[in-house]
Amino acid sequence: MSFPKGFLWGGATAANQYEGGWNEDGKGASVFDASTAGSVTKSREFFKEVNPDIYCPNHVATDFYHHYKEDIALMAEMGFKAYRMSIAWTRIYPNGDETEPNEKGLQFYDDVFDECLKNNIEPVVTLIHYDTPLHLANAYNGWYSRELVDLFHRYTTTVFERYHKKVKYWLTFNEINCIAIGNPYMAGACREVEGVSLDQVTYQAAHHQFLASAKAVKLAHDQYPDLKVGMMLGGLFFYPDTCHPLDMQEYQKSNYQQYYFSDLMCRGYYSNRAKAFLKTKGVELVMEDGDEEILMSGKVDYLAFSYYMTINATHVYNPELKLAGSGIASPKNPYLQANDWGMEINPIGLRYYLNELYDRYQIPLMIVENGLGHIDELVDGKVHDDYRIDYLREHIQQMDLAINEDGVDLMGYTTWGCIDLISAGTGEMKKRYGYVYVDRDDLGNGTLKRYKKDSFDWYKKVIASNGDDLD
Ligand code: BG6
């Protein structure tokens, strides 16, 4: 068995956690630039202003802004066919509501894409990875405001026009479903509104994101027909905790909460199920004439998703339940091991999930995040990360089975944090995913020097053999 010819092997990063240079060359602050990390406060906290007295790990991150040539050379050495990254909206429109873009920001991504293309690496570009401009959060309450649809469209129009010859594969919103998993601020830049339920705020904001995404897809289809625009789903995939009928129901309900997002973006309308779901949450969407047409005209070309773990769903409320690595209270799966952050590792679950998604939508899939967050030790310039190799090998084996035994159309695999970067969830540096170790710690100490881990040579071999050699 083998992977299809042209399979997009590679790695993934995002501007907010990797780029740094947070206020250089005209860049504005995003919501991430006004946050701090678990190493300083207990968990990541978001503030209204950038506070120079509180350490924000994302300001420097692992400094792709000044290391992009070196980093892309490392990716090329591993043989990457694709590199998933994101553009920081705040580099192009610093506050999000200007009428003219920032040329220096545009130039930076021109340079990055040129560097990729020179090395035969296909960029896969996310338009927004949790980093709404801070100004839009404060002045508009983020995505709860419909005005963001047009502001985002201005940004999308600018970047499509500028880069359509260099970038073929695009994604609109990173993990769009995460706005409803306790993250309305990180994913939607919106805070609670007095007298309005949090669900109402969240699902209204999501409606605006759906419109913005659909408009981006339609723009690409109308003006740049060679482009492929996908959606990105946070792969929170639930197992029933037991075969108790009520656990099965809970499992279906928990998974539906994620499919609510992908159904809409892949099918282009609010189904009966979606309407009933909103009703049970007491949500009444405010829609304008023409919204339904916009959604229908902006169905995505492919579905990209992240996959790190599975989560057990139970109908039994138990105050003892621990927050799993997903941030969701759930019982432990006794058949799985977890990483230090409680993410339960389930390679076979990836095959199951690939089948679920492909059966449901029948459009090409791309895994744009997967990997093991782990504490790595740098000793004499080396990191022996066999645990990471094992994790990746087992997931790749299941991808192979899904493609060759089940007929899933999988276009590519870009593993998360291919060069070490800052964790989104906790802001830690010590939770590393990469093939390349970056010398930086939780408090911002370190030289930022890059070191190849053992997994670097292993992944190089995997790519060179198109997934045949996994030893
Ligand atoms: C995904 C996000 O949820 O998971 C990334 O798209 C994130 O931004 C990744 O970094 C891993 O999560 P964490 O919390 O370990 O960074």
Query: Atom of ligand 1 at shortest distance to CA of 423?
Result: 16
| pLDDT tens profile 91-102 | 999 999 999 999
Q: Name the closest-CA residue to atom 16, ligand 1.
A: 423
Q: Is 175 a catalytic residue?
A: yes
> Ligand 1 centre from 194 Cα, in Å?
30
| pLDDT tens profile 116-175 | 999 999 999 999 999 999 999 999 999 999 999 999 999 999 999 999 999 999 999 999
8-464: what CATH class?
Answer: alpha beta
**Residue in 115, 344, 369, 428 annotated catalytic:** 369
> Ligand 1 centre from 302 Cα, in Å?
21
Question: Given this model, what pLDDT does residue 322 score?
Answer: 67
> Ligand 1 centre from 232 Cα, in Å?
13
Q: Name the closest-CA residue to atom 10, ligand 1.
A: 424
Question: If we measure between CA atoms, which residue out of 177, 193, 189 comes closest to residue 327?
Answer: 177
Q: Name the closest-CA residue to atom 14, ligand 1.
A: 425
- The pLDDT > 90 percentage for the chain reads 92
Question: If we measure between CA atoms, which residue out of 92, 164, 161 comes closest to residue 128?
Answer: 92
Question: Given this model, what pLDDT does residue 317 score?
Answer: 74
User: Within 13 Å and on the Cβ side, how many CA atoms surround 429?
Assistant: 23
What's the distance, CA 27 to chain centroid? Answer: 21
**Residue in 19, 175, 250, 344 annotated catalytic:** 175
Annotated domain spans of the chain: 8-464
Q: Which residues does ligand 1 sit against, CB inside 6 Å?
A: 14, 17, 174-175, 234, 306, 369, 373, 416, 423-426, 431
Q: Name the closest-CA residue to atom 15, ligand 1.
A: 423
Question: Given this model, what pLDDT does residue 324 score?
Answer: 63
The average pLDDT across 288-308 equals: 98
38 pLDDT tier (thresholds 50, 70, 90): confident
- Mean pLDDT score of the chain: 96
Q: Is 284 a catalytic residue?
A: no
> Ligand 1 centre from 187 Cα, in Å?
12
Query: Atom of ligand 1 at shortest distance to CA of 130?
Result: 8
> Ligand 1 centre from 164 Cα, in Å?
27
Question: If we measure between CA atoms, which residue out of 213, 307, 219, 191 comes closest to residue 258?
Answer: 307
> Ligand 1 centre from 430 Cα, in Å?
13
| pLDDT tens profile 368-427 | 999 999 999 999 999 999 999 999 999 999 999 999 999 999 999 999 999 999 999 889
pTM above 0.85, yes or no: yes
- Res. 43: pLDDT tops 90: no
**Poorest-pLDDT segment among 33-42, 347-356, 373-382:** 33-42
How many whole angstroms separate alpha carbon 262 and alpha carbon 260? 6
> Ligand 1 centre from 328 Cα, in Å?
14
- The residue to mutate among 178, 423, 426, 442, having the most atoms of ligand 1 within 8 angstroms of its beta carbon, is 423
The average pLDDT across 225-242 equals: 97
Q: Name the closest-CA residue to atom 3, ligand 1.
A: 234
**What is residue 231's three-state secondary structure?**
strand
- Res. 365: pLDDT tops 90: yes
